[in-house]
A and B are shown apart, each in its own frame.
Chain A
Amino acid sequence: MIHPIQTAVVNRDGSVVFCVIKNMIQVFRWDQTKSEFVAAGQWVDDEDSSNAIKKKVSEEQQRQRAENEAKRRKIEDDAAESETAKRSRRHKDAKVPVPGAGAPPVYNHVRNLALSRDEKLLYACTDSDKALVVFALDFDKENCLILQKRQPLPKRPNALTTTQDDKQVLVADKFGDVYSVDARGSDVVDVSKGNLEPILGHVSLLTAVAIVCDADGKQLLVTADRDEHIRLTHYPQTYIVDKWLFGSKQFVSTLCVPEWGTNLLFSAGGDNFVSSWNWQSGELVDALDIDELVNPFLGDAQLAPSKFQDESNSLVEYAVSKLVTFSNLPYVAFFVEQTRALFICKVDPLVGKLMLVQTIEMSLNIVSLSSALSADSIMVTLDHRDSENAHLAAFITWDGTQFSVDGEKNISFHNCITEKLHEDPVASTEAQDIYPLYSVATLRKRAEN
């Protein structure tokens, strides 16, 4: 079977779809004249992660050697070298640790796809070497993805955005830091030399990052973390914190900045509500309780892990995985991890009040959600592992009054992707080898003393 699409990004007008399947990016273009999807490009991350690990281990070894050497110099006279010191001179090569039996599998996949604002560049993060990869897009070529550079980062990148002028990519990592990387050109900074300093940091895993602009066009960076925090920081003066948005009770997993509502920002995560903020005033303007909407779609997958379960084994925990909006349509769409339902809310663009208007039930669990901003359409990717020949993705479009599943587009996409990938060695998988598609729930904090 073809591995499920872990994440996808649709361009603004909905004409191009970028999909991540394992360590591969697949691009499909909607051909208007033929009225069908065509394959437009692909890239496979063939970087061997052991290289990166080996480099790191040798660097650490060298650092320790230098440190020991310095200590030795302190204690002894340089002329009289002791036996132990001589022995330590005969260096062995750095040992790269190999996982033992029963160790969890290591996935070297691609994550966090994003387009530049002008849609001329595609950004992706790789697991293998914790790098930001930049592609130029040229749809006149047979393969539209042209690798520009590969910038390794100190820690695993987890979310990214670009500045308003698209000159810098802002990458938020699992260590809590945000780095600013030159979006264009091919120059790579050597991180091992400490040449890349974070522009801001939380002492918490960062889950989402976005840029908002105030009335004077000044930019603020919004960062969300596992400790309920949403922070606004001036950009580029990232040493000036503007404010925190207080009101989340659980981790934040997703941020959404609409173009139609000045000062509005939406967030969601481990809370049983979706938050609507006025980021200018710092006020939580609405918290849409989603318990009732979500309940019918929950199942065993949302039972808390046994370690944290209550006596009646009924403790349910769910998390909103992703929240998206559109350019001109004041609606937001979101889904809860490991469920089939897509919820669509209408928003009052002046005050930010949320109102549920539609629930669309898919036939399979939703894995990822992306919106074509100006086409008012949505793409979801689906967990098809238990159903032979089921679709890997679905398109949902706005018809002027409501959203509905676009059956024709779905079939066209299905035909195109199966034809392209049914014999592809990278894409094919066995059901039991599928990458863990649901990781948002693991962000929930488990207190220890």
Chain B
Amino acid sequence: RAHSNPFSDHQLEYPVSPEEMDWQKLYPHFFDEATSKMTKEVTIADIGCGFGGLLIDLSPEFPENLILGMEIRVQVTNYVEDRIIALRSNNAATNGYQNISVLRGNAMKFLPNFFRKSQLEKMFFCFPDPHFKQRKHKARIITNTLLSEYAYALKEGGIVYTITDVLDLHQWMVKHLEEHPLFDRLSTEWEKNDKCVQIMRHATEEGKKVERKKGDKYVACFVRLPNPTIM
């Protein structure tokens, strides 16, 4: 299935709170048996990770970070899971790909169940569902109301990455992020020098498909600003 309705009650597993999340099963390599605690926590999230191409390319670039893909479609999540298992076993000697994992979830509803305030450094939104119909716009992953939840999970200076081949959606995402008081757009100069932007342009399966079709790719990156004084 190409789509999944983010508003319906899926059979989802999610922790009651971030403290109750069992990260051990997702990142066993980063679990310390002696203290029964994780040695690292997730700091990079790929929301709607699809087939996992971005995770796999980010993994060696950020060996010190735990990277999580969230995907709402069951079969796609299973595929990415299998892919990561295979990569881990093929790279067992170097402990490669231990820092990436995937879970099935609805980020639009349950992101705060997984991440504490200011936990994340980077959030990726790569080729999200465009939801062309106007009355479906609330189903878009970037809306001014959801951005406040992303801002909660991101630390100051954290980055939101967006990429799409749909111009209308690109303009929509830019408009909403620019309007949001807690985000500021980063320059094209910054984009040029950022390795994640390069990876994001080429790593994802959607990105490759667009390349084959010689379509356009629109990138926009935003930095999480400090909270203003509370009134």
Contact = CB atoms under 8 A, between A and B. Distances in A.
A197 B19 CA distance: 34
A204 B109 contact: yes
A241 B152 contact: yes
A238 interface: yes
B108 interface: yes
A237 B230 contact: yes
Given A63-B134, A201-B143, A237-B228, A447 B113 contact: no
A449 B73 CA distance: 9
Contacts of B228: 237, 240
A200 B180 CA distance: 12
B230 A244 contact: no
15 contacts: A175-B138, A177-B145, A200-B148, A201-B146, A202-B145, A203-B146, A227-B109, A234-B230, A237-B231, A239-B148, A240-B182, A240-B230, A243-B117, A247-B17, A446-B9
Nearest to A204: B109
B85 interface: no
Given A63-B134, A448-B10, 4 more contacts: A240-B148, A240-B227, A241-B149, A247-B17
A151 to B, nearest CB: 20
Contact of B112 (A229, A234, A237, A448): A229
Contacts of A261: none
Contacts of B143: 201
Nearest to A227: B109
A72 interface: no
Interface string B113-125: 1000100000000
A203 B11 contact: no
A198 interface: yes
B97 to A, nearest CB: 28
A231 B111 CA distance: 13
B8 interface: yes
- Chain A facing B: main interface SS: loop
A246 B109 contact: no
Contacts of B180: 239
B9 A203 contact: no
A238 B148 contact: yes
B144 interface: yes
B96 interface: no
B6 interface: yes
Contacts of B17: 244, 246-247
Contacts of A240: 148, 151, 182, 227-228, 230
Given A201-B145, A218-B230, A234-B230, A244 B11 contact: no
A405 to B, nearest CB: 39
Nearest to B109: A203
B86 interface: no
A445 B9 contact: yes
B68 to A, nearest CB: 19
Nearest to B150: A241
B110 interface: yes
B3 to A, nearest CB: 14
B155 to A, nearest CB: 14
Contact of B231 (A227, A236, A246): A236
B167 interface: no
Contacts of B151: 239-241
Contacts of B19: 246
A233 interface: yes
Interface string A184-216: 000000000000011011111000000000000
B181 interface: yes
B186 interface: no
A65 interface: no
A171 to B, nearest CB: 15
B92 interface: no
A422 interface: no
B43 to A, nearest CB: 19
Contacts of B182: 239-240
A120 interface: no
Contacts of B7: 203
B12 A447 contact: yes
Contacts of A229: 112
Nearest to A229: B112
Contacts of B106: 203
B16 A246 contact: yes
A249 B181 CA distance: 33
B231 A249 contact: no
Contacts of A197: 144
B16 A249 contact: yes
Q: Lowest 10 CB-CB distances: which A-B pairs, in order?
A: A201-B145, A246-B17, A447-B11, A241-B152, A203-B108, A445-B9, A239-B148, A203-B109, A244-B112, A239-B181
Contacts of A231: 112
Contacts of A201: 138, 143, 145-146
B126 to A, nearest CB: 20
Most chain A beta carbons < 10 A, residue from B146, B180, B230: B230
Contacts of A228: 16
Contact of B74 (A202, A241, A244, A449): A449
A26 B47 CA distance: 50
Contacts of B149: 241
A448 B9 contact: yes
Given A197-B144, A203-B146, A449 B11 contact: yes
A359 B174 CA distance: 56
The residue in A203, A445, A449 that gathers the most chain B C-beta atoms within 10 A of its C-beta is A203
A127 B157 CA distance: 45
A233 B16 contact: no
Nearest to A444: B9
Interface in A102-122: none
B231 A218 contact: yes
A362 B151 CA distance: 48
